Amino acid sequence: MQQLLIAGRYRLLDLVGTGGMGRVWLARDEMLHRDVAVKEVVPPSWLAEAEREQVRLRTLREARTAARLNHPNVVRIYDVVHDRESPWIVMEYVPSRSVQQILGTEGPLSPQRTARIGLAVLAALRAAHAAGVLHRDVKPHNVLVADDGRVVLTDFGLATFDGGDGLMTGPGTVLGSPQFVAPERAREGVSDPRTDLWSLGATLYATVEGQSPYARSSAMATLSALATEPPDPMRRAGPLRPVLTGLLQRDPWRRLTAAEAEPLLRRAAAHPGEPAETARSSAVAAVRSAGRSLAQTPLDPLGGPAPLTARRRGRTAGRRRLLIGLAGAASALAIAGGVTVALATRDAERTPPSGSGGGAATARPAAFACSTPPPPTATPVVSLSPAADGRYGLREGWTWHDDPTGFRIAAPVGWARWNEGAATCFREADGARVLSVEAGPPRDDPLAYWRAEEARLTGSEALPGYRRVDISAMDIFEGGAVWECGWENAVGEQVHSFRLLANTSADRSYTVSWLTKEFDWQVNAAYLPMIRQSFTPAS
């Protein structure tokens, strides 16, 4: 078998590795007289012949796509050939050891060395994602450390295939290594740049800790833990702890992006060796600093415009009402652990009053309208019969509020109501929840407006510990956009706000806001569909 000639050119010399989708050989290119690595793609035996052929075709397509990559941290693909009824991928041969082999002989690596490997793999993934290529099988076996120190990522697009995961999953089977598969891919079969980033986090975790974050005795036990349990505790990670925690978030929208992970890896790579407790303190400080600097970082893993915004929020475009259905609420529940909905914001040119959403008044600028306690002149919301309009089912304890300024919305009975400038405020008695509606001039570009507000408020330090969840456009009324975020209020509590700005006519816009403590978000997010659907501006 060592003398087998593939495509009349590549002579197989030695078997150097096997995997779930094929075998890798050291081969000799008889035309150019150089060593190459040749991978024979072998579809799983349980696939039907038609499915096996589809796998082969997708393999060729993926390999041709990956061949466009030209990056020092990516193993180059030279050729794709078809021989003996199988696709063969001809790649650069890198004299090296895989990270898995290094772990087997040397044991866990230091946080600094692991971070340097992580930076190289992250650079490879960013280059691949920018070219539209997903790896889908990042793991220690596929990270090579060359004899000259170069770190390369190999085996692109061969473990699973875009749009084809369903065809390649048999009963009780997960292609690739379950210990390095992102939760959403194991659960739903989806693959995107965020799943690669989770696998990067699991790979670095294994490199520094000596085992994967979900190391169990069987694949099924691993998948069960992946679905229900947090990663195993870190004991050796030190300055890597923030980036590993961020990359291993179960919720893909809470996961660190590539742009966010890079500075944390650089800090860890430059971090001197020190006692674990000191390293832990430094790591916490680093991630807090990084969190404050991410206010204007896009959520896209490639650092560009965030993709699939509408899908991730579960919104239905094109509606003429402020309607984000139950799917939107379910998406919000998955993304955040607690919410404060503040439905009003201040104009950029207006000097806001003191205070912070959900907390007591302070000397710093207010983050949003209605953030201070109700004034003595506030009046309670009085219950009205909901029979006047049966289009929306009101929850128990809520009633209709017809505002003199020209809008209707569902409001909680007994909450204090008052006006603050152009905003109508509703605040829970002895509580932190705030509902508000603020009228304003129309905004030519609501999305740009929210981004400007984000820059203004974070620049004035009105949102300490700021965390963006979403800023995205919505096709409602005459145009709108949402801004969802969290921050730390004046009394040190984490709060969460969802704000929806909509141009309702040629001369008016409204901002509807809902604000709660972060801890209470899951419970209170259930009110969002009713609030959004009930809002009706004057015609």
CATH of the domain at 525: 3.40.1000.10
246: confidence class by pLDDT, cuts 50, 70, 90: very high
304 in any annotated domain: no
Judge whether 109 and 143 are in contact, CB under 8 Å.
no
Judge whether 473 and 501 are in contact, CB under 8 Å.
no
C-alpha–C-alpha distance, residues 301 and 56, integer Å: 29
Q: How buried is residue 248: exposed, middle or buried, by Cβ count under 10 Å (0-12/13-18/19+)?
A: buried
pLDDT in tens, 214-237: 998 887 888 888 888 899 999 999
Which domain does 201 fall in, by range?
96-293
Residues 277 and 337 in one domain: no
Residues 180 and 285 in one domain: yes
Q: Which amino acid is it at 427?
A: R
Q: Which pLDDT score, from 0 to 100, does residue 539 have?
A: 61
Q: Which pLDDT score, from 0 to 100, does residue 450 have?
A: 93
Structural domain total, the chain: 3
Residues 349 and 398 in one domain: yes
User: From its phi and psi, is residue 124 left (phi > 0), alpha (psi between -120 and 50) or beta?
Assistant: alpha
Indicate which CATH number applies to the domain containing 154: 1.10.510.10
137 is catalytic: yes
Indicate which CATH number applies to the domain containing 15: 3.30.200.20
Q: How buried is residue 233: exposed, middle or buried, by Cβ count under 10 Å (0-12/13-18/19+)?
A: exposed
Q: Which pLDDT score, from 0 to 100, does residue 297 have?
A: 29
Encode 139-185 in three state secondary structure: CHHHEEEECCCCEEECCCCCCCCCCCHHHHCCCCCCCCCHHHCCHHH
**Hey, what's the torsion of the CAs at 412, 416, 420, 425, to 10 degrees?**
-10
432 in any annotated domain: yes
C-alpha–C-alpha distance, residues 405 and 52, integer Å: 65
Q: Which of 137, 192, 300, 470 is catalytic?
A: 137
Judge whether 153 and 73 are in contact, CB under 8 Å.
yes
> What are 90's strand-pairing partners?
38, 79
Q: What is the pTM of this model?
A: 0.50
Quick one: average pLDDT of 485-514? 88
- Which residue, of 293, 326, 357, is where some domain finishes? 293
Paired tokens of 458: 């974070």
Q: Which pLDDT score, from 0 to 100, does residue 283 have?
A: 39
Q: Which pLDDT score, from 0 to 100, does residue 333 have?
A: 27
Average pLDDT, the chain: 75
pLDDT in tens, 392-450: 567 788 999 999 888 999 999 999 999 998 899 999 887 789 999 999 999 989 999 99
Q: Which pLDDT score, from 0 to 100, does residue 533 have?
A: 78
208 in any annotated domain: yes
Helix (H) or strand (E) holding 485: strand 480-488
- Which residue, of 65, 92, 119, is where some domain finishes? 92
- Which residue, of 92, 117, 139, is where some domain finishes? 92
Judge whether 352 and 335 are in contact, CB under 8 Å.
no
247: confidence class by pLDDT, cuts 50, 70, 90: very high
